[in-house]
Structure 1
Amino acid sequence: MSTAVFPAESPTTAAPAAAATRGHVEITNVRKSFGGTEVLKGVSLTVPPGGVAVIVGPSGSGKSTLLRTINHLEKVDGGYITIDGQLVGYQVRGNKLHELREKDILKQRTDIGMVFQNFNLFPHLTALENVTEAPVVALHRNKAEARKRGLELLDRVGLKGRADAYPRQLSGGQQQRVAIARALALDPKILLFDEPTSALDPELVNEVLDVIRELATSGTTLIIVTHEMGFARDVADTVVFMDQGQIVEQGSPQEIFANPREPRTRSFFSKVIEPAFNI
């Protein structure tokens, strides 16, 4: 495969050495365009190991695109991303970034779990088989060990009793919890959540959010795109407000929800947060 080449600031000087703890994310001046539309306009964000960053903002602000660049589902047009000091999707040759081979990108993705809006489960596999497929195929783990770990993870998300059910036999909330267990099965350094409750009926939302709340206390680095403002307030270390491809403001939940500095942030929250919402 021919490699795409992107000019960028040299990560050999800006990126940290291999981190002592897992899941240190550095996003540096990332830019991304689709056709003539610039979707990300030089976004920079640091999430420390074990941190929980929640990204909020209006539709079309670049939230999901930013999330997809972190595991290289979207190639960046400028800037770079590192996890524990290692470039994501690229290597440095000279003063430019060259895209890795597909097999090396896939290997990197085993460290980056992602939970999508629409579950993306294999319909012909049971819940347990969905969870154990990647560890066996990608990491070549023993099937018996993968099964044991898979049952533990299904139990963790409250679904051990549904291990043999197929996705069509599960509710949307149950399918999303299987998807979370599947993401955890590779023991990733970070977990990415792209609007994990947006495809769910309202009464099923809390069962998924409760699982993510538990994960937020587990020490795994989480980066979450969501429109659930109360949830963001509860779980985040850092709330990031994006608009028009840029980070407008970031800070603690208290700072962002109760006392935002930027007029655009205040305007957005005045429309999406109920008057009774309290910090």
Structure 2
Amino acid sequence: MSLATTQVATRGAVAVRSVDKSYGNQQVLHEVDLDVAEGEVLVIIGPSGSGKSTLLRTINHLDKVDRGTISLDGELIGYKVRNGKLHERRESEILAQRTEVGMVFQNFNLFGHLTALQNIIEAPIYARKIPKAKALARAKELLARVGLADKAGAYPRQLSGGQQQRVAIARALALDPKVVLFDEPTSALDPELVTEVLEVIKDLAKSGTTLIIVTHEIGFARDVADRIIFMDSGRVVEQGTPNELMTNPQHERTKSFLSKVIEPAFNI
């Protein structure tokens, strides 16, 4: 069954407006403006420390912005306007909003004391109040979809890194989010396990779900993205289709970065 079984096509538009974010004296996001269309697959690339992961974390309000706004389908994330000013939402409201934004982290973040199946049903039951029988049926469907139907009763310690990340993807989808964020989903994996995770994400990308993916896998970015943005020093430097950005980058910083990550030359 398709991952998009309950996905509505016209949902998941993200708007980032003039976002700044600092940690102490270090500003990590500078005046970031970004629109992600409903159903678009946006891939973010750039050097380490360029603000890619921080941008993802602000989209679901894991990190609060210092300035600017982020909205999902026209609704401000983490804030609401009262008397012409922004006020942070109550924690219960923020948690409810996060159920609309699935996130897959670098290091899986599975609950070690729960089985794969239990990890997936936890949020639907307690955050969405979905009946347990319905949550279990959906979880089994998702495990089958990511190729792990036979691992429902396995604990994270009994799974490979690639299998754990596939469970994490199924968990993110269990709430039927409007958008799914992937924060370097293969960076913690051994090289031979990367492909199995990327194949699951590629399949999801065909389903009409809005995806925002931070990755260092440039070949994967070229294959899966509708649009790629290049970030450096907390700024969106350049963006375009995979063909435009990979074959004809316009900014010198983009050219320099891509020259080091696309078929680098080795002196032997």
Taking structure 1 as the reference length, the TM-score comes to 0.91
Distance in 2 between residues matched to 1:253 and 1:73, nearest whole Å: 29
**Range with bigger deviation, 208-217 or 91-100:** 91-100
1:242 match: 231
Distance in 1 between residues matched to 2:196 and 2:242, nearest whole Å: 22
Root-mean-square deviation (CA, aligned residues, Å) is 1.2
Counterpart secondary structure, 2:141? helix
2:60 match: 71
One-letter amino acid of the counterpart of residue 134, structure 2: E
One-letter amino acid of the counterpart of residue 203, structure 2: E
Distance in 2 between residues matched to 1:271 and 1:164, nearest whole Å: 43
Distance in 2 between residues matched to 1:133 and 1:275, nearest whole Å: 44
Distance in 2 between residues matched to 1:243 and 1:84, nearest whole Å: 27
223, 246, 256: which one aligns with 1:257: 246
CA offsets, 1:46-97, max 9 Å, x none? 1100000000000110000000000000000111001000000000112321
1:268 match: 257
Distance in 2 between residues matched to 1:148 and 1:250, nearest whole Å: 40
2:114 match: 125
Counterpart secondary structure, 1:60? coil
Counterpart secondary structure, 2:216? coil
User: Any runs of at least 4 consecutive aligned residues in structure 1 with deviations exceeding 2 A, and if so which?
Assistant: none
Please state if 1:208 is matched with 2:197: yes
CA offsets, 1:205-247, max 9 Å, x none? 0000000000100010000000000000000011000000100
Give the 5 Å matches for 1:191-230. 191-230=180-219
One-letter amino acid of the counterpart of residue 43, structure 1: V
Distance in 2 between residues matched to 1:26 and 1:96, nearest whole Å: 19
2:19 match: 30
1:169 match: 158
1:3 match: none
CA offsets, 1:75-132, max 9 Å, x none? 0011100100000000011232110010100000000000000000000110001011
Give the 5 Å matches for 1:27-176. 27-176=16-165
Taking structure 2 as the reference length, the TM-score comes to 0.95
Identity of paired residues, percent?
69
| Structure 2 unpaired stretches of 5+ | 1-8
Please state if 1:180 is matched with 2:169: yes
2:179 match: 190
